[in-house]
Amino acid sequence: MAEEIERKFLVKGDFKPFVTTETRIIQGYLSSAPERTVRVRIKGDRGFLTIKGAGNETGTTRFEWEMEIPVEEAKSLLQICERSMIDKTRYIVPEKSGLKFEVDEFYGDNKGLTVAEIELPSEDHPFEKPEWLGDEVTGDLKYYNAMLVKNPYKYW
């Protein structure tokens, strides 16, 4: 069983000078239930199907399974997803120890929200927090993409 260990933060400063790559992402949910989400994503010109389980007590660790699928199949699956989509640009910002931050800048009903995540090899793995990183929101369900389709940032 694959596990994802990550921490999530709001972004409070200018991270863009440190970006190495950026990719536009459109994603929808076949299921956005908190105990299991099934996501369809088009990332650039590639399609993906992802299943995620509920997080642990701290919200840092959860089951994740992902498989690349043909982009045409992903486009078809997006047609049967729950009502709204996530539209964002993902920026990759290297962290000094070799890890990387994935910074998501949202559009549409979530415009104005920018969130950074860092995947870790263990929950207690140290990493350097750059000055543009804001408050930690790990485990706060309202910042999960599956929740942002139900309660977008513009309504907070």
CA distance to 65, 104, 105, 155, per residue, from 72 (Å)? 20, 24, 25, 33
Could you read off the pLDDT of 128-143 as tens digits, one per residue?
A: 999 999 999 998 989 9
Q: How many CB atoms are closer than 10 A to CB 121?
A: 8
User: What is the per-residue pLDDT for 1?
Assistant: 52
User: What is the per-residue pLDDT for 111?
Assistant: 98
Could you read off the pLDDT of 18-67 as tens digits, one per residue?
A: 999 999 999 999 998 878 999 999 999 999 999 998 878 887 888 899 99
Q: Which of 29, 91, 143, 144 is catalytic?
A: 29
Looking at per-residue pLDDT, the higher value among 54 and 70 belongs to: 70
Q: What is the model's pTM?
A: 0.92
**Catalytic residue at 107?**
no
CATH architecture for the domain at 3-155: Beta Barrel (2.40)
Q: Where are the domains of the chain?
A: 3-155
Could you read off the pLDDT of 76-135 as tens digits, one per residue?
A: 999 999 988 999 999 999 998 999 999 999 999 999 999 999 999 999 999 999 999 999
Looking at per-residue pLDDT, the higher value among 61 and 7 belongs to: 7
Q: What is the DSSP string of 44-99?
A: TTEEEEEEEEEE-TTSSEEEEEEEEE-HHHHHHHHTTS-S--EEEEEEEEE-TTS-
